[in-house]
Amino acid sequence: MKRACGQRSTDEPLGQDEEAGPGLQGRKRSMGMDAKGFFEGLPWWVKWVVIPVVALALFGGLIASVIGFLVGVLFKVLLFVLIIGAVIFLVRKFTSASSSSRGDW
């Protein structure tokens, strides 16, 4: 099947220089912008002072509650390990003491 000049078949992929159509031109350009390009034109004090302060102001309660939850879970896990360790220690102590005293009877 012959193609007219400037046409391509539908099974050929678009090249990097080719545009898919007028509706996708804006999307193609905006998809290439990453976080580096977003923060590139900003002064250092905006990047390192203003953005973290705003993030803490907006999400500070969430961050504090997540940290509090994690500390609470860690405390409960440590308490669980301590109690189980104490129970194992006491069981071994009393079973070894009772087995040695049985021979005296």
Q: 27-36: per-residue pLDDT in tens?
A: 445 555 677 7
What confidence score (pLDDT) does residue 9 get? 58
Amino acid at position 50, single letter:
V
What is the CB neighbour count within 10 angstroms for residue 72?
A: 10
What confidence score (pLDDT) does residue 36 get? 73
Q: Could you tell me if 28 and 20 are in contact, meaning their C-beta atoms sit under 8 angstroms apart?
A: yes
Q: Could you tell me if 56 and 63 are in contact, meaning their C-beta atoms sit under 8 angstroms apart?
A: yes
Which segments of the chain have a pLDDT < 50? 27-28
Helices (H) and strands (E) in the chain, counts: 4, 0
Distance CA 26, CA 36 (A): 20
